[in-house]
Structure 1
Amino acid sequence: MTAQTLPGWTHAYSGKVRDLYIPQGTASIDTADELLVVASDRVSAFDFVLEPGIPGKGELLTTLSLWWFDRLDDVPNHLVADHELDGTDRIPAAVAGRAMLVKPLDMYPIECVVRGYLTGTGWLEYQQSQSVCGIPLAAGLQNGDRLPEPIYTPAFKAQQGEHDENISFERTVELVGEDAAARLRDTALDVYRRASAIAEAKGLILADTKFEFGADKATGELTLADEVLTSDSSRYWDAETWRTASTPAERMASFDKQIVRDWLAANWDKQGVPPALPDHVVQRTAARYRELLERLSGD
């Protein structure tokens, strides 16, 4: 995984999907006044970065994040207010459309997960204990059912290469303090409810999502960071299909890389290096990402 060389910027870090740059001449991320976050076309599943990538994915994710930031403009976020300073565009042309100029934050080590529907690992746990992340739920729910109220199920952010750990709200209090833990929970639930209503108006269900927050280094203000409500951080379903489909797989066909996961699960034993993705899987996945953006934004 090789990051691009960008004029005026120095590569500082790469995750599975995003590359982080600091201004040239800056000593480290800790001393940077600004950061450049570049979304690549890389796609990961089962803790592996796969080959090939999904064409246009980085731009689609960035465009969707910016669209949501615009609709949540009363929620403080990490975007630098103006990408153009003194008439000079700070984002290099090579990554235009898939990069965000942001301010560094003191990040909280919490994945703020909100679930409005029973699915995924939540469904697996529910079948065993009638609970999700330790939160008791009513009996008789089925895979994909809407929960009576959205629930907050935080996770501790693991180091790269390790799995995030589901934790209780009480554990978040121990990690970040009572006030910060409450603000993280309440803000995540509020943003989820607002975004869910916007998605429903577009014929979409926002089944679950995860947010990341940091504290503004100067003011301490809680600030929404990273990507927000994208296909990689959220599970979206078609509302009409969810109401009428006859099987769980059809009911919960998501606008994300589930096509990739399904193909890998059927064609790889999780031993060694994953096989290359066939072109039809790559193209179907790219189309699914694009369809979500088009349906939400109308473009």
Structure 2
Amino acid sequence: MELLYKGKTKDVYQDQSGEIVLYFKDDMTGKDGVFDPGENQVGLTVEGSGRAGLEMTSFFFEKINAAGIPTHYVSADIEAREMRVKKITVFGEGLEVICRYRAVGSFIRRYGNYVEEGAALPAYVETTLKDDARQDPLINEAALEALGILEPGEYGKIVDMTVKISELVKDELSRKGLELYDIKLEFGRDAETGEILLIDELSGGNMRVFKDKEAVGPLEIGEYLLN
């Protein structure tokens, strides 16, 4: 296979038939050896995390597809740690969308004068640009349109999809006694049709999850969810 892009937690390949394949690595985002879904650098390598990430990703993407929400997911080979996906184009150089149910992480660092840590939030959605050098800056609808990253009306579609996907994930986790505090999603367009799709992955590395007010590690989430 031809390597197209080497990422922090996944590498992107194209096979001989032209299909796009994501390879899930054992690298995780964080800092000083501590996992943090909000970090934009590799902070640690944990054996088995790539397989675990793909297992959870395929579990959620199949449910999201079944719910009629479009994604880039085609199929997964868990043993090979490979996921086949549709060809997509990204918004700008990448757009991430966070849905927050609790005031934690960067939200409390920014707005701590106005809210207590852990306070409930009503599926609050915010967007950031993928830009390591600028620490993934927040951006609003008007700026996304002014910069030509989104077309008029697309922001609302992405927010609507984000809430529907986040609620689906939240409900699945709650069945196992887990509470979703926040989740980070990524969207792009189908390269052929232009349809907005959920892309990238959807695993423990994308979310903060708690059980009885105690943080649940990204690999532990899958153990609760898939067993």
Name the TM-score, length of structure 1 as normaliser.
0.66
Cα offset, 1:48, TM superposition? 4.5
The answer as to 2:227 corresponding to 1:293 is: no
TM-aligned CA distance change 1:150 to 1:121, over 3 Å: same
1:182 maps to what in 2? Answer: 156
Instruction: Please tell me whether the aligned partners of residues 110 and 172 of structure 1 are also in contact (alpha carbons under 8 angstroms).
Output: no
Unmatched tracts of structure 1, length 5 or more: 1-8, 25-31, 84-90, 131-140, 243-250, 257-288
Among 196, 203, 221, which residue is 1:222 paired with? 196
Richer in strand (by share): 2
Instruction: Provide the rounded CA distance (Å) in 2 between the counterparts of 1:173 and 1:182.
Output: 12
Give the whole-Å Cα distance in 1 for the aligned partners of 2:55 and 2:70: 18
Aligned residue for 2:124, secondary structure, equals strand
Q: Take 1:40 and 1:23, find their aligned partners in 2: how far apart are those partners?
A: 18
Paired position in structure 1 for 2:42: 49
1:205: Cα distance to partner?
0.8
One-letter amino acid of the structure 2 residue matched with residue 61 of structure 1: G
Give 2:201's aligned amino acid: E
Which aligned runs of 4 or more in structure 1 are off by greater than 6 angstroms?
none
Please tell me the root mean square deviation across aligned C-alpha atoms, in Å: 2.1
1:168 pairs, out of 140, 152, 157, with 140
Distance 1:33 1:162 in 2: 34
> Deviation of residue 145 (structure 1)?
2.0
1:122: Cα distance to partner?
Answer: 0.6
Aligned 8 A contact 2:187 2:198 in 1: yes
Match of 2:165? Answer: 191
Higher helix proportion (structure 1 or 2): 1
> Is contact 2:103-2:117 (8 Å) kept?
yes
User: Equivalent pairs: percent with the same residue?
Assistant: 23
Paired with 1:192 and 1:207, the residues of 2 have a C-alpha distance of: 10
**AA in 1 matched with 2:70:** P
Within 2, Cα distance between the matches of 1:12 and 1:220? 21
Once the two structures are TM-superposed, the CA of residue 37 in structure 1 deviates from its matched residue by 0.5
Distance 2:178 2:117 in 1: 18
Equivalent of 1:20 in 6, 12, 15: 12
| 2: CA distance, partners of 1:209 / 1:63 | 17
Whole-Å separation in 1 of the counterparts to 2:90 and 2:191: 10
1:169 Cα offset (Å):
2.7
1:126 aligns with 2:126: no
* Structure 2, unpaired ranges of 5+: 32-39
After TM superposition, give the deviation of residue 178 of structure 1 in Å. Answer: 1.9
Larger displacement relative to structure 2 (95-104 or 189-198) = 95-104
Cα offset, 1:213, TM superposition: 1.3
- In the other structure, the counterpart of 1:255 is 217
Q: Is the 8 A contact 1:77 1:223 kept in 2?
A: yes
Determine the C-alpha separation between the residues in 1 that align with 2:108 and 2:41.
24
1:124 aligned counterpart, secondary structure = helix
Q: Is the 8 A contact 2:28 2:205 kept in 1?
A: no
For residue 206 of structure 2, what is the aligned residue in structure 1?
Answer: 233
Q: Provide the secondary structure at the position in 2 that maps to 1:153.
A: strand
Deviation of 1:119 after TM superposition, in Å, equals 0.3
Q: Is the 8 A contact 1:63 1:97 kept in 2?
A: no
Q: d(CA) in 1 for partners of 2:141 and 2:102? A: 19
For 1:49, the aligned partner's letter is V
Residue type at the aligned position of 2:143: R
Are 1:62 and 2:38 an aligned pair?
no
> What secondary structure, in the 3-state scheme, does the structure 1 residue paired with 2:72 have?
coil
Judged with a 3 Å threshold, the aligned counterparts in structure 2 of structure 1 residues 48 and 106 are, in CA distance, closer, same or farther, namely closer
**Deviates further, 33-42 or 168-177:** 168-177
1:178 aligns to what SS in structure 2?
coil
Q: Pick from 99, 102, 105: which aligns with 1:117?
A: 102
Q: Secondary structure at the match of 2:123?
A: strand
